[in-house]
Amino acid sequence: MSVNTRVATLDGVVEGKVVGELVTWRGIPYAAPPIGPLRLRAPQPATPWKGVRDATEWGNASAQHKRGTMVSIGKYQPTSEDCLTLNVLAPGRPSATPRPVMVFIHGGAYTLGTSATPLYGGGSLVRRSLEDSDGIIYVSINYRLGALGYLDLTQFSGPSRQFDSNLGLRDQVAALEWVQLNIGQFGGDPENVTIFGESAGGNAVTTLLTTPAAEGLFAQAIAESSAPGMVATHENATQWAREFLDFLGDGGDAAHALDTADVTQLGRAGTKLGAAVSARTPGLFPFGPVVDGEFLPQNPLDAYIGGSAHPVPLIIGTNSREGTLFPKVLDALPTNPERIDKLFSLTDPAAKNVVTEAYPGYPGEAAAIDIGGDFTFWKPSLEVAEAHSRRAPTYSYRYDFAPRVMKWLGLDATHGFELFAVFGISGTTFGKLMTVPGGRKAFADVTEKVQSQWLQFATTGAPLESWPKYDEHARETLVFDTRTRVQRDPRRDRRRAWEGYRGYASQKTEPTETSVI
């Protein structure tokens, strides 16, 4: 049977390639390159092309540090400001009906990452979907990162040069609009789109649910280890932008500096800004969506609580020990007593003893790390689950599974580890090496359970019947582990200790030259 690798999009014809039983199209533009006068502007429509466009290679990763683009040992994905592309992966066999679509948004603290990362390939997920149905269509996207995507520089606009806010978020909306207009040509159903993402990608998901321009662009959402509070106030974003220009050295003409600086200069200024903000306010990052009163009218947590989030079914959850990865990889969370003291002194001093007493062993290292992870990911995700469950079907999970080697490393079920199950790593060479000390069958079993739930949800809008809806009374949560089970109100003492605490999201203090709260 011949497989059609040529597809006509609204912008032009693309030619993909066959990969086993699947077909892939890579590097398809969903917007115009944001370069030259379009740098730091909202995404514009892609320029149509004539003839057949080769779509067999990944597009450029967003401009970033090299470490975020490794695709194999010693090999890195090229980076460029010209990065607004997406990829489509579909079954090779035809389907009589349009297939559900899953759109993945990668993480990386809004400063790192690329859809070309091998983990995000999607092949295992699509092949697994063919076991029970006609399969799904998998889409992955690139979007602008760092200062070029997640720093609000609108205060430097003038009559001859405009800058827009929330550029990375706008890119994600533009990609979803492309899906609505074009995915039918690849066999997908635009009326059954599920967005899912992890870490910053999870934050993108919880933010998109509160972004007016995203209304109607997806039917379901899955937020994995979201940090829903990683959204800047207008006041903080304004101060951070000024600091960024100081680090960049604007010479008195901000617009000119932003137009003429190369990506290396922008990256260095961004690194300095990130370090300065993290030192002042542990757990707060300068790169992320900003409440601009326009594209993102209000803080997402407030939108959920106020009932204005898009009422689509939502899966949301975190991993058992989110914080253990960060002291080893990205040491920026409040994961030690000094930073935890500073965190509460800047937000809610009265909450400190209440919270720390819920973590036996504090101020020991393990307890402190768990406080930092829970503050950033678990606690605000519970807030979203509780509020959203009042308006739409909501399903909560916790991912506890960790093979023996992860426990030996002191990581346990750390941040991002559930992605190995979502994307089916257990059967690969890497997955087999990881489980040489033990846990291979359990890893395969938990992978099957996670993929089955994600695919069922993407297909029908609800997970399998073994997973009950979340509500603020029973708080039933599906725990993925060697024995996957439902728990009522897991870690109840910790949850109660955090009640009423809003962290930086509740702060209204005016920023100064030396303090941003």
pLDDT in tens, 82-120: 999 999 999 999 999 999 999 999 999 999 999 999 999
pLDDT of 516 > 90? The answer is: no
Closest among 404, 418, 406 to 478, alpha carbons compared: 418
Q: What's the token pair of residue 357? A: 């007493």
Q: From residue 441, how far is each of 249, 418, 454, 481 by CA, in Å?
A: 56, 16, 20, 12
Average pLDDT over residues 115-144: 97
Q: What's the token pair of residue 476? A: 């039933």
Is 226 considered catalytic here? no
Average pLDDT over residues 30-35: 98
What is the distance, to the nearest Å, from the Cα of residue 227 to the centroid of all Cα atoms in its chain? 9
Q: How confident is the model at residue 204 (pLDDT cuts 50, 70, 90)?
A: very high
Is 131 considered catalytic here? no
Q: How confident is the model at residue 511 (pLDDT cuts 50, 70, 90)?
A: very low
- Digit-coded pLDDT (tens) for 274-326: 999 999 999 999 999 999 999 999 999 999 999 999 999 999 999 999 999 99
Please state, in angstroms and rounded to a whole number, the distance separating the CA atoms of residues 384 and 386. 5
pLDDT of 513 > 50? The answer is: no
The predicted structure's pLDDT at residue 252: 87
pLDDT of 479 > 60? The answer is: yes
Q: What's the token pair of residue 79? A: 């980076």
Strands 314-319 and 220-224: parallel
Q: How confident is the model at residue 459 (pLDDT cuts 50, 70, 90)?
A: very high
Please state, in angstroms and rounded to a whole number, the distance separating the CA atoms of residues 218 and 102. 9
Is 310 considered catalytic here? no
Average pLDDT over residues 206-232: 97
The predicted structure's pLDDT at residue 250: 85
- Digit-coded pLDDT (tens) for 251-271: 889 999 999 999 999 999 999
Average pLDDT over residues 56-61: 98
Q: Are 60 and 141 in contact, with CB atoms under 8 Å apart? A: no
Cis? peptide before 289, omega within 30° of 0: no
Active-site option among 199, 225, 320, 381: 199
Percent with pLDDT over 90 in the chain: 93
Active-site option among 115, 415, 418, 426: 415
Active-site option among 322, 383, 386, 418: 322
Q: Are 19 and 123 in contact, with CB atoms under 8 Å apart? A: yes
The predicted structure's pLDDT at residue 343: 97
Amino acid at 302: D
pLDDT of 60 > 70? The answer is: yes
- Digit-coded pLDDT (tens) for 66-86: 999 999 999 999 999 999 999
Within 10 A of 307 (CB to CB), how many other CB atoms are there?
Answer: 11
- Digit-coded pLDDT (tens) for 222-244: 999 999 989 999 999 999 999 99
Q: Domains in the chain, ordered, with CATH?
A: 6-506 (3.40.50.1820)
